[in-house]
Homo-oligomer: A and B are copies of this chain.
Amino acid sequence: MASNNEPLLRDDRFFDPDPGVRKIARELYQSTKDLPIVSPHGHVEARLLADDEPFPEPTTLLVKPDHYLLRMLFSQGVPIERLGVATRDGTPAESDPRKAWQLFADHWKLFRGTPTAAWLGYELYQVFGVRTKLSGDTAQKIYDEIAEKLASPEFRPRALFERFKVEVLATTDAATDPLEHHQKIRDSGWKGRVIPTFRPDALLQIGAPGWPAELEKLAALAGGPIENFPAFVAALQDRRAFFKSLGAVATDHDAPDPFTARLAETEAEQLFHMARRGRAGPAEQRRFQAGLLMEMARMSAADGLVMQLHAGALRDHDRLLFDRFGPAIGGDIPIAVEFTRNLRALLNAYGNDPAFRLIVFTLDESTYSRELAPLAGVYPAMRLGPAWWFHDSMEGMRRYRERTTETAGIYNTAGFNDDTRGFCSIPARHDLSRRMDANWLAGLVARHVIDKDEAREMAKALAYELVKEAYRL
């Protein structure tokens, strides 16, 4: 790694420049860097590990599934279809992955100072052993290097899973997903622990055009038509049990606005019937979701599945991107979120119950110190999810710790999760998180807020123990 130039990946990266702090950060990081990876929330496809086929080539692995990367390139005038991403509106997409890779590399400077550069820097250097700096000039050479690696057995998904020391990997799956890949992994005899997560969003969005079809899918799995609200709730409960039977420990819920409210039976029934007749609008959906979140909390307290709530994303803001590529391509934009009033019904009903566990994520950082830390710092059932999405970054993690710890402590937080679609980015993201936490703790030690023994215990908790405790793993 040494040369007369700076190494590409510095041992002390992301640590405070102050020599005293850096020394402590390094020690703390040394104590956590080799701990197993627990990944309780992510978007890797189970199929990958079920089939264990070689990854096709670098662009498909590293560029096309990375919405951080696609949105940044698009923002600077690079059409996403030219990166090889398939379109659904007939726009022709680049078919040569080498050309797409070149285009990406030509714009590499855009990522200076972003977590994308940090993650990809790790992946290239640490996962693929690339020792050349990425640029337009070196793009093809690096493509070749990675492609060669991908052809070897050591770079098959299961081999990497083991090399990354993944102790458990949770996927995210629609409530109506048959989970055949999870079943296949179980049946294969392979020891890797890959578990599903129950995400029923599509079934709660009664104002969406696709809702009736979702209900049909649910009915098919339930073995017969679902004609009233209690039957609907019962079918959801059955699916939770099915997910649990395949290892699930959690559910996941997305809400632009985390409104919760106990619905009267008649109202729930009425909303359900409006939905079935295709007559539910945004107002009906909001009420329905509010009531269903209460039902989900009730079931969580009963079946023990941890409830995750991700709030604050307005989806598919850019219609052009949505029409051309579908959802999840980078057109999601955060909005201001209110938790104190919105979660009150749910927390008063279940938040004091030790059998219930709620983990909350936000894209609105102004709620960290104002609402979320105070709530997690009082309700026994609540934990704070880590800095999420746009805030899963060096500064984002720093702000998260600085704004939540003094009110909620670290023991009301849920460790780290990578939330990634990019399989090879898993170790990169956990490494970044462990570095940032080590560095934050080092700053506390250097300022005599905590002592070193405390810091060591806290570092281990943040990297490994809290996530297991929070997700009951």
A375: chain B residues at CB < 8 Å are 317, 333
Residues A334 and B340 in contact, CB atoms below 8 Å apart: yes
Question: Residue on B with the closest CB to A458?
Answer: B112
Q: Mark A335-360, 1 if CB is under 8 A from B, else 0.
A: 11010110010011001101000000
Q: What 6 pairs between A and B have smallest CB-CB spacing?
A: A17-B446, A13-B448, A10-B448, A393-B406, A366-B366, A113-B405
19 interchain pairs (CB within 8 A)?
A10-B448, A14-B448, A17-B443, A75-B377, A75-B382, A109-B457, A110-B411, A113-B410, A114-B407, A118-B449, A317-B375, A333-B374, A333-B375, A335-B370, A336-B370, A366-B366, A369-B396, A374-B390, A394-B449
A321: chain B residues at CB < 8 Å are 378
Cβ of A380 within 8 Å of any chain B Cβ, yes or no, is yes
Nearest-neighbour CB distance to chain B for A69, whole angstroms, equals 11
Nearest-neighbour CB distance to chain B for A380, whole angstroms, equals 5
Specify which of A109, A115, A314, A347 lies most central, judged by the most chain B CB atoms within 10 Å of its CB: A109
Cβ of A51 within 8 Å of any chain B Cβ, yes or no, is no
In angstroms, Cα B348 to Cα A320, docked, is 7
**Known contacts A17-B20, A74-B380, A412-B75; is-contact A374 B344 (Cβ 8 Å):** no
Cβ of A72 within 8 Å of any chain B Cβ, yes or no, is yes
Nearest-neighbour CB distance to chain B for A326, whole angstroms, equals 15
Q: Name the one of B341, B403, B409 contacting A111, with C-beta atoms under 8 angstroms.
A: B409
Q: Name the one of B363, B379, B391 contacting A75, with C-beta atoms under 8 angstroms.
A: B379
A335: chain B residues at CB < 8 Å are 338, 340-341, 370-371
Q: Name the interface residues of A1-44: CB closer than 8 Å to any CB of B.
A: 6, 10, 12-18, 20-21
Residues A72 and B409 in contact, CB atoms below 8 Å apart: yes
Q: Name the one of B17, B20, B318, B369 contacting A379, with C-beta atoms under 8 angstroms.
A: B318
Question: Residue on B with the closest CB to A320?
Answer: B352
| Identical copies of this chain, number | 3
Question: Residue on B with the closest CB to A403?
Answer: B395
Residues B76 and A114 in contact, CB atoms below 8 Å apart: no
Cβ of A444 within 8 Å of any chain B Cβ, yes or no, is yes
Chain A interface category by residue count: 35 or more
Q: Name the one of B317, B396, B405 contacting A406, with C-beta atoms under 8 angstroms.
A: B396
In angstroms, Cα B331 to Cα A76, docked, is 38
Residues A409 and B112 in contact, CB atoms below 8 Å apart: yes
A371: chain B residues at CB < 8 Å are 333-335
**Known contacts A109-B457, A113-B405; is-contact A378 B75 (Cβ 8 Å):** yes
Residues B344 and A447 in contact, CB atoms below 8 Å apart: no
Q: Name the one of B72, B317, B380, B394 contacting A344, with C-beta atoms under 8 angstroms.
A: B317
Residues B113 and A380 in contact, CB atoms below 8 Å apart: no
**Known contacts A333-B375, A377-B72, A407-B114; is-contact A14 B446 (Cβ 8 Å):** no
Q: Name the interface residues of A100-125: CB closer than 8 Å to any CB of B.
A: 109-115, 117-118
A331: chain B residues at CB < 8 Å are 378
In angstroms, Cα B376 to Cα A71, docked, is 10
Residues A114 and B411 in contact, CB atoms below 8 Å apart: no
A77: chain B residues at CB < 8 Å are 354, 380
**Known contacts A338-B336, A450-B113; is-contact A395 B390 (Cβ 8 Å):** no
**Known contacts A75-B377, A371-B334, A378-B318; is-contact A449 B348 (Cβ 8 Å):** no
Question: Residue on B with the closest CB to A457?
Answer: B109
Cβ of A319 within 8 Å of any chain B Cβ, yes or no, is yes
Cβ of A66 within 8 Å of any chain B Cβ, yes or no, is no
A113: chain B residues at CB < 8 Å are 405-406, 409-410, 444, 449-450, 458
In angstroms, Cα B318 to Cα A347, docked, is 8
Cβ of A248 within 8 Å of any chain B Cβ, yes or no, is no
Residues B333 and A449 in contact, CB atoms below 8 Å apart: no
